[in-house]
Amino acid sequence: MSLLVTGSIGIDTVKTPRGLSEDCLGGSSVYFSMAASFFCPVRFVGVVGEDCPFDLAEVFENRRVDLAGLEVRSGSKTFRWAGTYMENMDDRTTDAVELNVLGEAPPKVPETFRDSKFVFLANSHPALQMELLSQVAEPTFVAADTMDLWIDNNLDDLKALMAKIDCLIINEDEVRDLTGEPNLILAADRLIEMGAGVALIKKGASGSLLRDRTGDTSLLPAFPATEVNDPTGAGDSFAGGFMGHLARCDATDFATLKKAVAYGTVTASYTIADFSLNGLIAASGEVIEMRLDCLREMTSF
């Protein structure tokens, strides 16, 4: 089933206790698409400036990623981000941000993509997420990501977006900020009351919490990775595995949602093993299935 993603394409400079990666490929839609392509074809919508040093057609060569929605905008510059991770690899500081093309009008969804049934709105201004979503005809399941910047400064837009989506993917600090609830179960319920039928809360190294409007709940730990070099893009890779499995199954019942979270968890564990996309590029559908079996065995009792 068709899966569309809209989000950022970036030039990242990342410093972690394990090393430094300068001017590497990043961006939410890039990580998401690489992860989701293990499960299903991906329709990619994004924009870069004419200074972009990366050939995305080459990056996604032999991957099931349709780049018909990629715009190279003349006279504009590509989004840039620089950050430093602390020793625990969960906390980080943003050292520099240049919105550049992300501060301009969003790209258009190609006509051939407008019948997409599964849609992921990667992190961006909620008004832009709504504008892009409005170009999709009749989606079956829409998930969105957000961040503290929009919660703090664009709350009305974010609430309007939540009324139009099926699932909000958010981390535990952000959901407490958004709902005012320290208890994550109650915080998930507040999200659902705001409109999102499914709340998926990322807890970093502690795993994730999934809850729907019926009260069905699932907790899953993170995969116990021993090699953590760069957490950048882990959340977007998690979302890519999650949405990729849903689109592959063309289903959103709670059992399928639970398994999708597991796929997202193991897919993200490959992202953090190396800088930029290198961990995902080195992975395969076969090793993801093997790691899923390991996670299943470790969490069964």
The confidence band for 149, taking pLDDT boundaries of 50, 70 and 90, is confident
pLDDT of 1 above 90: no
Give the Å distances, CA to CA, from 158 to 129, 139, 168, 180, 260: 9, 19, 11, 15, 25
pLDDT score, position 109 = 97
pLDDT score, position 301 = 83
pLDDT score, position 155 = 95
**Predicted confidence (pLDDT) per residue in 201-228, tens digit:** 999 889 999 999 999 999 999 999 888 9
**Predicted confidence (pLDDT) per residue in 169-203, tens digit:** 999 999 999 999 999 999 999 999 999 999 999 99
- Residue 230: give its domain's CATH number: 3.40.1190.20
Q: What is the spatial distance between Cα 47 and Cα 101, in angstroms, rounded to a whole number?
A: 7
pLDDT score, position 204 = 87
Phi, psi of 165 (to 5 degrees): -115, 170
Q: Which residue has the higher pLDDT, 71 or 89?
A: 71
Query: Which letter, b or e, does each residue of 126-147 get, where b requires 16 or more Cβ atoms within 10 Å of its Cβ?
Result: bbbbbbbbebbeebbbbbbbbb
Angle, helices 234-249 vs 28-36, to 10°: value is 40
- The enclosing H or E element of 270 equals helix 254-271
Phi, psi of 178 (to 5 degrees): -70, -40
**Predicted confidence (pLDDT) per residue in 22-33, tens digit:** 999 999 999 999
pLDDT score, position 147 = 87
User: Phi-psi category of 204—alpha, beta or left, where left has phi over 0 and alpha has psi -120 to 50?
Assistant: left
pLDDT score, position 125 = 87
pLDDT score, position 91 = 85
pLDDT score, position 196 = 93
- The arithmetic mean of pLDDT across residues 216-244, rounded, is 95
Q: Is 218 helix (H, G, I), strand (E, B) or coil?
A: strand
Q: What is the spatial distance between Cα 52 and Cα 211, in angstroms, rounded to a whole number?
A: 39
Q: In 10 A of CB 282, how many CB atoms?
A: 11
Percentage, residues of the chain above pLDDT 70 = 100
Q: Is 249 helix (H, G, I), strand (E, B) or coil?
A: helix
Side by side, the strands of the sheet bearing 141-145 are 65-73, 42-49, 3-6, 118-121, 141-145, 167-171, 198-202, 208-212, 217-220
pLDDT score, position 200 = 98
> Whole-model pTM above 0.85?
yes
pLDDT score, position 136 = 97
Report how many helices (DSSP H) and strands (DSSP E) the chain contains, helices first.
Answer: 11, 13
Closest CA to 25 of 63, 81, 90, 75: 81
**Predicted confidence (pLDDT) per residue in 250-299, tens digit:** 999 999 999 999 999 999 999 999 999 999 999 999 999 999 999 999 99
Average per-residue pLDDT for the chain: 95
Query: Contact 132/6 with Cβ under 8 angstroms?
Result: yes
Number of domains in the chain: 1
Boundaries of domain holding 223:
3-299
**Predicted confidence (pLDDT) per residue in 93-141, tens digit:** 999 989 999 889 999 999 999 999 999 999 888 998 999 999 999 999 9
pLDDT score, position 226 = 87
pLDDT score, position 124 = 87
